[in-house]
Structure 1
Amino acid sequence: MAANGNEPADPIVKGTLATAKQSWGDLFRWKQRVLVTNELGESHTEWQSPEPFKNPISLLRQLSGKQWLYFLVGLFAWTADAFDFHALSIQTVKLSRYYNRSKTDITTAITLTLLLRSVGAAIFGLLGDRFGRKWPMVANMIVLGLLQIATIFSVTFEQFLAVRSLFGLFMGGVYGNAVAMALENCPTDARGLMSGILQQGYSLGYVFAACANLGVGGATDTWKTVFWIAAGLSILAGLIRCCFPESKQFREAKAAGHHISAGDFWRETKSMLAQEWRMCIYCIILMTWFNYYSHTSQDSYTTFMLSSKELPNDAATRASILMKTGACVGGTIIGYLSQFIGRRRAIVGAALLSCCMIPAWILPNTESGLSASGFMIQFFVQGAWGVIPIHLNELSPPAYRSSFPGITYQIGNMISSPSAQIVNAIAESRFVTSKSGKLVEAYGPTMGIATAIIAVGIMVTTALGPERRGRSFEHAGPAGANIRTDDVEKAAVDTVSLADSKVTKEQV
């Protein structure tokens, strides 16, 4: 028995097949295999019973005032980022009329945005791990605002696509820095709940964009007003971030007099990739499934209600708002539950329940029916997503919590970038009979079948993958500092060995 009374467990295995086998077995055991590290740095693995449920209010109170400020700034940046993105997806019909292009052509802009986000994630994520979270995020948000303004002044469709491509590059850098800033100093017990709240900045951005769309009305040129609002929010987020200091780990490293050279940074990065390449590939596959999951179930939903269900713009927008309200609620609740039942169980359970909701999601014809079913399916879709920020942070190499989540998330986005375009292309080439008896584009069946396939993929991938719930990363130094520490320790060991050798020779 361990010192705390828990039963010892076999160590966490290495290797792809071994990890999949161990993870599958652990999924069906109530107790969870946990790696425990004591104050001396000694580690062992033990079986721990899931933590008892704790009052979420008490978990929120564990955060200090400073931790709340960092969390809220990260949440606001992520929400503004999501508003920027959804300002386009919920106005596909308006933009189609404005540029005299098909809806599938307009969703090409979504594809290009998602495609280039991985490049931005790599650039700004590595800058965040190398130089700190602050200034990369400031640059991201201000440039995003300026690119929203540039979109408004795009006269031709080609200019529009070019600006949205550049927008995607800068948008990709926000997620990793925002998540790292918001979660890296959260108390361990509160991580699941705060992860759920943080991830719903994405859904909150959708809700705000939909509210703005509802407020400006359905006239074609009103899309520009929504983009002006988006620009203001992004620039404001960048200016607010200017008012807060750098993250704790970088301030502590600077105070300790650590100078991290570019060589140190890249040596540690290459060492990390050599050791963690399997984890990188796994997280990319997982985030590919998740991004298909999100974009397939939401990006064309307003178009689905307008074109297939023949709802007016106001009714479709109200239903979209309620749908994403369900996402905000579900992400928070299931993120909270993951702290106690485990990250993987929460994800698998939410994905399974979302499959069960698909018929009720696409069959109703009224605003109330579509609102209620949209609320429930997004409760579970974004409920599963609510676990992702902290799950990725716990799976990340500790020194790369800015670049690793951002890059894996955005590469998944890149691979899934054609999702909205695929849905639109298939739906526009197939037809079903609407409630009025007309032949309309088959958005409902297309989204339903695709979402079911994707949800099954998420369940299988998550069930066979690793989990590091409760992993300690609060005291990890910035990337590059750790390899210097290793070098110093190695030099010390070599010096001691040399001294021992000299003493032995003198004794002989």
Structure 2
Amino acid sequence: MAFTAFFVGRFRSLKPTLDVPDSPFHLLGLLSVHQWLFFLCAFFAWTWDAFDYFSVSQVIGILPNNFGKSETAIALGLTASLIPRFVGAATFGLAADFLGRKWPFIINCVCLIIIEMALGFCKTYTQFIICRTLFGICMGGLYGNATATALEDCPERARGLVSGIYQCGYSTGWLLAIAFSKIFVDASSNTWKPLFWFGAGPPVLLIIFRLWLPETVVYQPTGASNEKGNIYGFLVDFNTAVRLHWCLLCYLVAFMAGCAFLSHGSADIYGLMLNNKYDFSSERISVTQIVGNLGAIIGSTVIGFGSQIVGRRFAITVACIMGAVLVYPYFFVSDFGLYAAVFFMQFMIQGVFGVVPIYLIELSPPAFRTFVVGTAYNLGILIASPIPVMDTKIGQHYPLPSRIQDGVIVRVFDYSTGMSIFMACAFIYLIVVVFLGTENRRNGISDDEQAADEEEAGFDVTSPVMNHGKW
């Protein structure tokens, strides 16, 4: 009986709310200058974080010759930046919840500058992997802080739209990586190092920007409370929060794993797949990626906005169903129809991610928001981290006729079969997880009274059913 009631409750909670929407322009007008400044600082930080990550994707065809390694070994460089991200998320997240958003953000940017500079001086494969691992820690540390900075003070009615626009930073960073790789790599005799040296520059501007801004309004009462206490008391409260909210944390990690499966399964070695199977030139691969990222930017904004109307989970579910329909053309069409498939696939996938920032914020315990958002996000990434290596390994079981490039015989493989099967499974997985989940859209993320009630009462961990954000 309880089992049946649970599933009936999941169906009922998934029903679209169909709230009457405001104009997007009106919603953006609700943000004050103060809120816009926080949003822009966080948006540019997330954008450049994505740029630094995708820089390796843009030179993945060059690095094997530079380091004398296979494409699978170089793909490990992508995995190396995914695995340790939860370490940075937990470390910088706890620091941001106790010390404030400002200084952990600045220290994080300083670390990114140092590591990006070091990447350009790598002479061996081992040095490259070490630097990418350290970069992963810093990248993981920035997401939770930037998300909280962007959305904590956001007006309730504008949250979905602003969340979608914020997530556009990921695709914008990818577009910038494509553009600047053409400038620094293609125009410099295939030398990849200047791209990473350049990547160390913009975080300096982010540091200056963040130094100029205070703490968010929502965090200030928490910061004042933390100043009166000590680190021991904070850690005791943190331990209590984990004990009470463990069920919610597990759900958020499972949810983010599904999102990461979609994002990295569709993108990390997609350019390599196009080159191997369809012999796409680097120029045509870049055009394809640009089309996909334009779809991602539009989809993130549209579906993020739509989630404010129909509900977070319903919007995610519809995007997953539509994305699953596009799996075949995304991997097995090579004419101009491919551009439409790529556009709408990334529209749907990044549309899901457009809902992610505010969805995580709304479900997180207020006192540990940065930690929960960043750690859940990056533990999901950790689970998905083997995808680039796994895809290349599976693809090597489907060899294609070898090619001759610059007088050298080059082996190529069909990566599309394994990638398409994995993507179909990822869509199904995320639909199931979201169906079993919940949302907390109508409750204020800055409601101090609600936060106090949650800390006192905790979550009911005896039932997997969530009601108004509580398990």
Asked if these proteins are the same fold (TM beyond 0.5), I'd say yes
The Cα of 1:312 is off from its aligned counterpart by 1.2
Report the CA distance shift for 1:384/1:211 in structure 2 as closer, same or farther (over 3 A). Answer: same
Q: Which runs of 5 or more structure 2 residues have no equivalent in the other structure?
A: 405-409, 457-471
Q: Say whether the 8 Å CA contact 1:81–1:234 is kept in structure 2.
A: no
**Pairwise mapping of residues 16-27 of structure 1 onto structure 2 (< 5 A)?**
22-27=9-14
**For structure 1, which segment, 227-236 or 443-452, has the greater mean C-alpha deviation from structure 2 after superposition?**
227-236
- In structure 2, the residue matched to 1:125 is 93
Q: Answer yes or no: is 1:466 the counterpart of 2:438.
A: yes
**Pairwise mapping of residues 67-86 of structure 1 onto structure 2 (< 5 A)?**
67-86=35-54
In structure 1, what residue type is equivalent to 2:11?
A: W
Q: Distance in 1 between matches of 2:371 and 2:235?
A: 13
Rg larger in structure: 1
1:173 counterpart SS class: helix
State the Cα deviation string for residues 311-344 of structure 1 (Å, max 9, x = none). 1111211211111111111011000000010000
Report the CA distance shift for 1:426/1:82 in structure 2 as closer, same or farther (over 3 A). Answer: same
Q: Say whether the 8 Å CA contact 1:144–1:235 is kept in structure 2.
A: no
The Cα of 1:231 is off from its aligned counterpart by 1.3
- In structure 2, the residue matched to 1:489 is none
Q: Say whether the 8 Å CA contact 1:199–1:389 is kept in structure 2.
A: yes
Q: Distance in 2 between matches of 1:255 and 1:126?
A: 16
The Cα of 1:225 is off from its aligned counterpart by 2.2
State the Cα deviation string for residues 52-91 of structure 1 (Å, max 9, x = none). 1221000000000110010010000000100010001222
Q: Distance in 2 between matches of 1:458 and 1:356?
A: 15
1:245 counterpart SS class: coil
Q: Say whether the 8 Å CA contact 1:214–1:314 is kept in structure 2.
A: no
In structure 2, what residue type is equivalent to 1:341?
A: V
- In structure 1, the residue matched to 2:176 is 208
The Cα of 1:19 is off from its aligned counterpart by 5.7
Q: Distance in 1 between matches of 2:222 and 2:330?
A: 51
Q: Distance in 2 between matches of 1:16 and 1:465?
A: 15
In structure 2, what residue type is equivalent to 1:362?
A: F
Size of the aligned set, in residue pairs, is 449
**Pairwise mapping of residues 168-317 of structure 1 onto structure 2 (< 5 A)?**
168-218=136-186, 221-253=190-222, 259-317=228-286
The Cα of 1:127 is off from its aligned counterpart by 0.3
Q: Answer yes or no: is 1:444 the counterpart of 2:416.
A: yes
- In structure 2, the residue matched to 1:93 is 61
Q: Distance in 1 between matches of 2:225 and 2:79?
A: 45
Q: Distance in 2 between matches of 1:365 and 1:159?
A: 37
Q: Distance in 2 between matches of 1:119 and 1:165?
A: 11
The Cα of 1:265 is off from its aligned counterpart by 1.1
1:474 counterpart SS class: coil
Q: Distance in 2 between matches of 1:112 and 1:16?
A: 41
2:429 to 450, 453, 457: 457
Q: Distance in 2 between matches of 1:272 and 1:17?
A: 30
Q: Answer yes or no: is 1:134 the counterpart of 2:106.
A: no
Q: Which runs of 5 or more structure 1 residues have no equivalent in the other structure?
A: 1-14, 31-48, 487-508
The Cα of 1:276 is off from its aligned counterpart by 0.8
**Pairwise mapping of residues 427-506 of structure 1 onto structure 2 (< 5 A)?**
427-431=395-399, 440-476=412-448
In structure 2, what residue type is equivalent to 1:301?
A: Y
State the Cα deviation string for residues 231-278 of structure 1 (Å, max 9, x = none). 112332223212211222343456689613213212221221121110
State the Cα deviation string for residues 459-489 of structure 1 (Å, max 9, x = none). 0100111111122121449x9xx69x97xxx
State the Cα deviation string for residues 183-208 of structure 1 (Å, max 9, x = none). 00100000000011111111111111
Q: Say whether the 8 Å CA contact 1:148–1:228 is kept in structure 2.
A: yes
- In structure 2, the residue matched to 1:65 is 33
Q: Answer yes or no: is 1:403 the counterpart of 2:371.
A: yes
Q: Distance in 1 between matches of 2:307 and 2:26?
A: 17
* Percent identity of paired positions between Structure 1 and Structure 2: 34
Q: Distance in 2 between matches of 1:16 and 1:198?
A: 38
In structure 1, what residue type is equivalent to 2:421?
A: I
The Cα of 1:432 is off from its aligned counterpart by 5.1
In structure 2, what residue type is equivalent to 1:453?
A: C
Q: Distance in 1 between matches of 2:424 and 2:297?
A: 21
Q: Say whether the 8 Å CA contact 1:87–1:227 is kept in structure 2.
A: yes
**Pairwise mapping of residues 409-424 of structure 1 onto structure 2 (< 5 A)?**
409-424=377-392
The Cα of 1:303 is off from its aligned counterpart by 1.1
State the Cα deviation string for residues 110-129 of structure 1 (Å, max 9, x = none). 11111100000000000000
**For structure 1, which segment, 158-167 or 234-243, has the greater mean C-alpha deviation from structure 2 after superposition?**
234-243
In structure 2, what residue type is equivalent to 1:458?
A: L
Q: What root-mean-square deviation, in Å, do the aligned CA atoms of Structure 1 and Structure 2 show?
A: 2.6
**Pairwise mapping of residues 263-412 of structure 1 onto structure 2 (< 5 A)?**
263-366=232-335, 368-412=336-380
In structure 2, what residue type is equivalent to 1:69?
A: L
The Cα of 1:433 is off from its aligned counterpart by 7.2
In structure 2, what residue type is equivalent to 1:314?
A: E
**For structure 1, which segment, 422-431 or 118-127, has the greater mean C-alpha deviation from structure 2 after superposition?**
422-431
Q: Say whether the 8 Å CA contact 2:98–2:226 is kept in structure 1.
A: no
Q: Say whether the 8 Å CA contact 1:432–1:439 is kept in structure 2.
A: yes
State the Cα deviation string for residues 16-71 of structure 1 (Å, max 9, x = none). 997665223322x34xxxxxxxxxxxxxxxxxx53112210000000001100100
**For structure 1, which segment, 104-113 or 171-180, has the greater mean C-alpha deviation from structure 2 after superposition?**
104-113
